[in-house]
Amino acid sequence: MQRIAVINQKGGVGKTTTTVNLGAALAHRGLRVLLLDMDPQANLTVHVDKRPDLEGSTLTSLLLDDQKLDALVQETGLPNLFVVPSDTSLAGVEQVLANRIGRETILREALETFAGRTSFDFVLFDCPPSLGVLSANALVAADWVVIPMQAEYLSLQGMAKLLEVIQLVQKRLNPQLKIACVLPCMVDARTNLSTEVLREIDTHFGSLLTRTRIRNNVKLAEAPSFGRTIFEHAPDSNGARDYAAFADEFLAMIGVRAPAAVGNDEVPSPTDDSPEVEPLAGEPPAAPARDDEPPPREIAAEA
Ligand SMILES: Nc1ncnc2c1ncn2[C@@H]1O[C@H](COP(=O)(O)OP(=O)(O)O)[C@@H](O)[C@H]1O
Ligand SMILES: [Mg+2]
């Protein structure tokens, strides 16, 4: 099970949209995906058609009351896609845990004893727009970080702080944490501003910057109000195309071969461990070397 934190302490940059639609794209490829809503605003919970005010058990029960993760997992309308919902009670967690020893490792421990860990291929954490205890739990529990970034003026502001926190977590609590990529979201290719900002992001992040750009797309903005992912809401939209392309690029970046399309019997040779696309080389400005990456592995689609 690969654990992915989708994080950026700025709000409105595309974290929730990316978590839901990356998760849905992976689920459509036959991979089993669990989404964890770690934001008290519960946007992800609503996006997958749940009602935060009606949820009895949310991530709060896990973080504060030692409730087992297995008891919190719910189905969504999409096969292979599951969710642990959030609600506003999560807002109180930071304060309650403030003086509790080991507060940053609660989620990691919960995942270690999670019975579903053998049946899920991915768990995605949708982080809140802050760098508090909730985000720390996500970073400590994660293998990979995905940083969505809005292609607009000042989008790099705050990035030094985020990279510093990631480095600190790597040093103290989770040495295997790696940055997978920086994903430009809400890109308007027609404006010089977007182009300029992308060039600036490229100078800072180099090979960590994805080739995929998530364009501005009204269907992506509409989908949450229907409680549907972009693939159900508007499968022919640019939003669906961009997130499908991102999912493929992401799998290649982390060295996971995309499973054969559902219904296709062709299984890649187990000895052929080369990823579909060359993994990106080079080092991020404030991230660990990437040459300690585990060899590419394959994830079998659920039968
Ligand atoms: N590519 C896009 N094009 C148009 N609207 C988008 C796009 N990505 C996200 N949005 C919208 O922008 C808002 C903020 O996105 P969201 O994913 O909720 O950000 P975050 O989780 O970082 O706060 C939401 O209303 C969302 O529907
Ligand atoms: Mg969000």
Question: Is residue 267 packed enough to be buried (19+ CB in 10 Å), middle (13-18) or exposed (0-12)?
Answer: exposed
- CA gap 285, 296 in Å, rounded: 23
The pair of structure tokens assigned to 99 is 């003086």
User: Does ligand 1 lie within 6 Å of residue 11's CB atom?
Assistant: yes
Confidence label for 200 from pLDDT (cuts 50, 70 and 90):
confident
Q: Which amino acid is at 188?
A: D
The atom of ligand 1 lying closest to the CA of 19 is: 17
Residue of 221, 277, 216 lying closest to 250 (CA atoms): 277
CA of 251 to the centre of ligand 1 (A): 22
* C-alpha count within 13 angstroms, C-beta hemisphere, residue 212: 24
Report CA torsion sign: 108, 291, 131, 198: negative
Higher pLDDT pick, 11 / 288: 11
Q: Is the pLDDT of residue 252 over 80?
A: yes
Angstrom distances, CA of residue 60 to CA of 55, 94, 180: 11, 10, 28
DSSP 8-state code for residue 172: H
The atom of ligand 1 lying closest to the CA of 242 is: 1
- The domains of the chain, with CATH numbers, are 2-298 (3.40.50.300)
Q: What is the pLDDT of residue 260?
A: 53
The atom of ligand 1 lying closest to the CA of 223 is: 27
Confidence label for 154 from pLDDT (cuts 50, 70 and 90):
confident
Q: Is the pLDDT of residue 103 over 80?
A: yes
297 three-class SS: strand
Threshold 0.85, pTM exceeds: yes
How many residues in the chain? 303
Higher pLDDT pick, 297 / 102: 102
Contact 137, 97 (CB under 8 A): no
